[in-house]
Structure 1
Amino acid sequence: MKPCEEEEEQGGAAAAGGGGDPWKECAELAVQLALRAGQIIRKALTEEKQVSTKTSAADLVTETDHFVENLIISVLKEKFPSHRFIAEESTAAGSKCVLTDSPTWIIDPVDGTCNFVHRFPTVAVSIGFAVNRELAQQKQAFDQPPPPTLAYACHIVAIFRSHMRTASTPSSDYISKALILTEIGPKRDPATLKLFLGNIERLLKAQAHGVRVIGSSTLALCHLAAGAADAYYQFGLHCWDLAAATVIIREAGGTVIDTSGGPLDLMSCRVIAAGTREMAMFIAQEIQTIHYRRDDEN
């Protein structure tokens, strides 16, 4: 019996108490797949692409998104047939986005598709893993740093192998010294844009050093974990944008919460992350909510 399947029969509790790491086999395969997918995306960055839209003109998908997602899921299903999957393009095609107690892979094959389409090389592969509806922590697995090439055209992110995890997080609680990251979101109607720009204005009036939009929520959160920014907030992102990077933030000592100031709800399509809880709560009090449908309401 495979370690992952054995642990599932024992109730899905992750790696608690002795006996080594029951998720090690899952971890190793996730890293292999992330690296393989990254090679595919790096090559595709330089090629012409067939581009389609999903929920809006700004919500793009390419043949590479589908190819990479199918590759990751097919390999994981063959190895772990009892596991469940939540993936961006499968959900867009009609699959239910439901998080259960079962071991569940949460996958974004190309995070930053708009960047990818324009050959702007801020792109990530995100492979997250949840057990008992909680994101799995894998602190003892893969502590070695990634190859230097991963710092360039396509960054590879998997929850089991993060060069961010030992990085220092910002200690400042003061917005006047903060660099804040965010994303626009797929809704571009006048009312939504007014709220989005109003939130940026509020943070700038609070004397934030700057606000940046880089086009990949996964990498924005990883920059935060690495200490290159102080906070991140967004409305309209999805569980596959958050699953892997949330673990990286937490392992680096940061805070991830709901925009209301409460605990993170992975399906809520909204998040604040920061180096300190004080910073996260300050942003929660400053910004106005932009409403999106929950992932599990599809």
Structure 2
Amino acid sequence: MIDQPPLGPADLSTLERIACELATEAGRLIVEERPRHVDVAATKSTGTDVVTVMDQRSEELLRTRLEELRPQDGLLGEEGGSKESSSGITWVVDPIDGTVNYLYDIPAYAVSVAACVGDVSVAGAWHTVAGAVINPVTGELFHARQGGGAFLRRGEELTLLNVSGQRDLALSLLGTGFGYAAQKRREQISVVAAIIGEVRDIRRIGSAALDLCSVAAGRLDVYYESGLNAWDQAAGQLIVTEAGGVVRGRHGAPAGKELVIAGPDPLVTDLAALIDA
């Protein structure tokens, strides 16, 4: 990975625009060309961790368009797309985040596109400079660039995002998610059991990217999950931080596969104390 030269406001704006355009394009594909019965093309970590044909088509669209627009940039995609960067920028993409929701036609899935600098294979060694997440069913496009704030676009309406003003964990709506391996789920549910009496309620939506955007929009007060990969969180974590929130991992480390906690700083601090205990 080469060193990234400083990015100016115009560079960041361009990267944000491309992220929005490609997320929207891929989102249109997976909705408009979704077959009546979605076929499972493969499985990953377990038999319940599925890949659909549309996951593969969406990632191929993103890869092809990035080759056209940013041929020197790298790529890291959930479905295996990978390319080394010669520019210092790597695009981290999730072609369908919430694939099981997509499989069952539950309208809570997303396309996530993020421009990152640093070594995306190492937690804490990279950061996102621009990103977009779209729920293509609702048409809600969440996007941000470093230092530029976070926004939600619905058609022609543009809304500046801010995390929740809630500061009391006991009054907070908490979001989380679960992995696919049975033992991992058992471990995760034990954490839920320890937390559920300490918060207002818990939601499990099924898309980490949308969960992070919900935190940025104040729809969830705080969120945590373990087992996330870079493509699950790359765009969403920038959107949270640009909306005034913080994103951290276990024991104050950078967010990574072991743990992601996102929300207003006081809630993240209090929730981390419960999870890290």
Q: TM-score, normalised by structure 1?
A: 0.77
The answer for the alignment partner of 2:194 in structure 1 is 202
Q: Which runs of 5+ in 2 are unaligned?
A: 119-125, 154-158
The answer for the alignment partner of 1:250 in structure 2 is 241
* CA positional deviation for 1:42: 1.5
**Aligned to 2:180, what secondary structure does the other structure show?**
coil
Q: Give, in whole Å, the separation in 2 of the partners of 1:166 and 1:88.
A: 29
The answer for the alignment partner of 2:100 in structure 1 is 114
**Aligned to 2:106, what secondary structure does the other structure show?**
coil
- AA in 2 matched with 1:121: P
Match among 36, 45, 48 for residue 58 of structure 1: 48
* CA positional deviation for 1:26: 3.2
Q: Give, in whole Å, the separation in 2 of the partners of 1:176 and 1:66.
A: 41
Q: How does 1:246-285 map to 2 (within 5 A)?
A: 246-265=237-256, 268-275=257-264, 277-285=265-273
Contact 1:225 1:254 survives alignment (8 Å): yes
The answer for the alignment partner of 2:123 in structure 1 is none
Identity of aligned residues (%): 27
| CA offset digits 1:212-232 (Å, max 9, x no partner) | 100000001111111111111
Contact 1:199 1:288 survives alignment (8 Å): no
The answer for the alignment partner of 2:156 in structure 1 is none
Q: Give, in whole Å, the separation in 2 of the partners of 1:99 and 1:56.
A: 31
Q: Give, in whole Å, the separation in 2 of the partners of 1:12 and 1:269.
A: 30
Contact 1:86 1:106 survives alignment (8 Å): yes
Contact 2:16 2:130 survives alignment (8 Å): no
Select the structure that is richer in strand.
Answer: 2
The answer to whether structure 1 residue 124 and structure 2 residue 110 are counterparts is yes
| CA offset digits 1:55-86 (Å, max 9, x no partner) | 11221110110111011111111222211111
Q: How does 1:1-298 map to 2 (within 5 A)?
A: 11-15=4-8, 21-45=10-34, 47-51=36-40, 52-90=42-80, 102-132=88-118, 133-137=126-130, 152-153=137-138, 155-159=140-144, 162-163=151-152, 166-189=160-183, 192-206=184-198, 208-265=199-256, 268-275=257-264, 277-287=265-275
Larger Rg: 1
| CA offset digits 1:111-137 (Å, max 9, x no partner) | 000000000010111001112432105
Number of residues of Structure 1 aligned to a counterpart in Structure 2: 260
Q: Which runs of 5+ in 1 are unaligned?
A: 1-8, 290-298
Contact 1:14 1:131 survives alignment (8 Å): no
* CA positional deviation for 1:45: 4.3
Contact 2:151 2:161 survives alignment (8 Å): no
Contact 2:4 2:117 survives alignment (8 Å): no
Distance 1:84 1:47, change over 3 A: same
Range moving further from structure 2, 193-202 or 71-80: 193-202
| Cα RMSD after superposing both structures | 3.0
**Aligned to 2:252, what secondary structure does the other structure show?**
coil
Contact 2:248 2:255 survives alignment (8 Å): yes
Q: TM-score, normalised by structure 2?
A: 0.83
Contact 1:111 1:123 survives alignment (8 Å): yes
- AA in 2 matched with 1:22: D
| CA offset digits 1:150-189 (Å, max 9, x no partner) | 6844654454573187223222222110100000112212
